[in-house]
Structure 1
Amino acid sequence: MLQATTPIAESQIAAVRAFNRFYTHIIGTLREGLLNSEYSLSEARVLYELATRLKSTAREIARDLELDPGYLSRILRKFEDVGLLSRKASVEDGRQSILKLTRQGKAAFSELDQRSNDEAQHLLERLSDKERIEFLHGMRSIENALDARSSRAPYILRQHRPGDMGWVVHRHGVIYTQELGWTPDFEAVVARIVADFIDNFDPKRERCWIAERDGEIAGSVFLVRHPEEKDTAKLRLLLVETSARGLGLGKALVDECTYFARAAGYKKITLWTHDVLTAARHIYSEAGYKLVKEEPRHSFGVDVISETWDLTL
């Protein structure tokens, strides 16, 4: 970040302070509970870090949020007391504990995340299209000016919302055509899978996760009931945008499927993929899936080897 070469005028300092007062009032950070919840701003920020990191330790969170370790310890202890957080000893460093949200903790974050989305939507709805573009551009300009790391913002995983299914079909069609040369009939297959998911969605046994990064959708995955095997789930439509690859996002999406499948009482997860999808196959192998069936075929305009992988839970 470039340093100022001329003295800062008092009017400029006053303008920054006025903006801070204005914006903290707009987003409600001075209320006793953030977003009309039971959590303070600091607690909500810690909850966000726990939900969006693959692995968390108290030392890392305290460092990255610049929180006093004692203050953070009290927040984490509160989360444990109300059943939002669990700990286990780190394999790499026995002095540290790996922090992980429980199912109750994930639900609490999901609700808070949705409230935050709703409030942001309400704020943007007050603006015209032109004002909205200028507003978002201004926010990005401030972020880029003050934080050179802003382009490496973490991702979040959430459940699907209206409009997400169209994105899933569209991006599968675009990416698989650009990267593999597949024909539009693959996009038609994706559309049928998505339509079937919406038409027959069972929230107790099925789930779609959408990944977001820097406010944009970066990936997706589905876990659905097997149509013929009661105790088996199917993992479908794993996708990670090119710009978000290398962050462990694919692994995180697959892991969410595993956690949910176990909690839902499934005994096995099965999936269908192709030999050319090497990155996805590596993720499946690392997650414990075993290749159980191979079949050469001509699909989507190319010769491929169709594969079935299973994970016993």
Structure 2
Amino acid sequence: MVPEDSIDIIRTASRQLVRELGFMGGDFAGTTLPPSAVHALIEIEHGNVTARELGARLHLEKSSVSRLLRKLVDAGDLHEGEDKNDARLKLLSLTAAGRERVAAIHRFARDQVASALVQLTPDEARTVGEGLHLYAGALTGAATRAETGVRVEEGYRPGLIARITEMHALYYARTSGFGQPFESVVASGLSEFCGRLHHAANGVWTVSRNGRILGSVAIDGQDMGDGIAHLRWFIVDDGLRGTGSGKALLDAALAFVDAQGFAETHLWTFSGLHAARHLYEARGFVLAEEHPGTQWGNEVLEQRFVRLRP
């Protein structure tokens, strides 16, 4: 049971935040743009975002997204390009003017946050940051459960190693022709990692429905050296694709990364996983290197993506 006083405190603080940040009218983020446009520009900043993905992130209807994007294109802030893998999709990116506008928004927002935090002690400032991360993650998890009937859970649970291995083995056997060597690598790696889950730098998150694991992601904060988080074993069952469960998993993992203060987050994948790549790049990951490799059984174009601490 959630205490009533906690609910009232959070509701009151949320209303005050909405007013102070300018959501109720007037200049927002130092611009004359509406809040939805400012949020859209920030989400598009790293490129390779589709209109559909943008609508899902901002919780906007398709018609609202179309009007919003048309205004930003007409204003010279936004460019619409074709996805080379699917001509039906339009990839959104910022123009030079759009990048200048977003840079100004970030400067204004950082100054706004700094002017508030300077009134607090360092410990109080950390408490604010950690609390907002936790609350935002809880809201995301609640929305995902309401929309899909799934639960985002942190930590080990019985059957986790076997189920995550099974999902990887079946999916990549079907899509990439991987066999026993790949399954063995996943199983042995997961087993070794779960033996280190007690360490504060490591974490694993799953989504489940009716007790069955349907998606996973992990952060290994030890195997790549100090200050580097390794994002591993990200997968979502076919039945949950397009529901936002993958986004919820990634957001939970990256909130953990940022709260822990990692300077960089790395992940290894391979070319051809377009949907996953869109999710990575939308969250600040950039392709750092690629080369042919056979560590998963068949030769693929292996890729390493890196996300710097925001």
What is the TM-score normalised by the length of structure 2? 0.55
The 1:225–1:155 alpha-carbon spacing in structure 2 relative to 1, beyond 3 Å, is same
Please name the residue that 1:310 is paired with.
306
Please name the residue that 1:208 is paired with.
204
Alpha carbon RMSD of aligned pairs, Å?
3.7
Which residue, 261, 272, 287 being the options, matches 1:265? 261
Deviation digits for residues 259-311 of structure 1 (CA, Å, limit 9, x no counterpart): 10111121110010000222111111111101001111234443310011000
Please name the residue that 2:36 is paired with.
92
The 1:183–1:252 alpha-carbon spacing in structure 2 relative to 1, beyond 3 Å, is same
Q: 1:264 and 1:290 mapped to 2: Cα distance?
A: 21
Please name the residue that 1:68 is paired with.
none
Q: Matched residue of 1:307: which SS?
A: strand
Shift, 1:165, TM fit? 1.8
Please name the residue that 2:2 is paired with.
39
1:287 aligns with 2:250: no
Letter in 2 for 1:201: L
Please name the residue that 1:157 is paired with.
152
Shift, 1:79, TM fit? 3.7
Shift, 1:203, TM fit? 4.2
Please name the residue that 2:238 is paired with.
242
Q: Tell me whether 196-205 or 252-261 shows the greater mean CA deviation.
A: 196-205
Q: 2:291 and 2:224 mapped to 1: Cα distance?
A: 21
Q: Matched residue of 2:280: which SS?
A: helix
Which residue, 172, 176, 184 being the options, matches 1:176? 172
Shift, 1:78, TM fit? 3.7
The 1:80–1:290 alpha-carbon spacing in structure 2 relative to 1, beyond 3 Å, is same
Q: 2:182 and 2:146 mapped to 1: Cα distance?
A: 32
Q: 2:11 and 2:225 mapped to 1: Cα distance?
A: 37
Over alpha carbons, which structure has the higher Rg?
1
Letter in 2 for 1:77: D
Q: Is the 8 A contact 1:276 1:304 kept in 2?
A: no
Q: Matched residue of 2:188: which SS?
A: helix
**Aligned ranges 1:39-118 → 2 under 5 Å:** 39=2, 76-80=7-11, 91-92=35-36, 102=132, 105=135
Letter in 1 for 2:287: L
Q: Matched residue of 1:208: which SS?
A: strand
> Relative contact order: is structure 1 or structure 2 higher (C-alpha 8 Å, sep ≥ 6)?
2
Any gaps of 5 or more consecutive residues in structure 1? 1-37, 44-73, 114-149
Q: Is the 8 A contact 1:84 1:105 kept in 2?
A: no
Deviation digits for residues 192-226 of structure 1 (CA, Å, limit 9, x no counterpart): 22112122224421110011235432200000114
Letter in 1 for 2:200: K
Among the aligned pairs, what percent are the same residue?
25
Which residue, 207, 218, 221 being the options, matches 1:222? 218
Letter in 1 for 2:171: I
The 1:39–1:227 alpha-carbon spacing in structure 2 relative to 1, beyond 3 Å, is closer
The 1:108–1:243 alpha-carbon spacing in structure 2 relative to 1, beyond 3 Å, is closer
Q: Matched residue of 1:92: which SS?
A: helix
Any gaps of 5 or more consecutive residues in structure 2? 24-34, 39-58, 60-129
Q: Is the 8 A contact 1:76 1:85 kept in 2?
A: no
Q: Is the 8 A contact 2:137 2:255 kept in 1?
A: no
Letter in 1 for 2:8: R
Q: 1:93 and 1:101 mapped to 2: Cα distance?
A: 26
Q: 1:75 and 1:259 mapped to 2: Cα distance?
A: 22
Please name the residue that 1:70 is paired with.
none
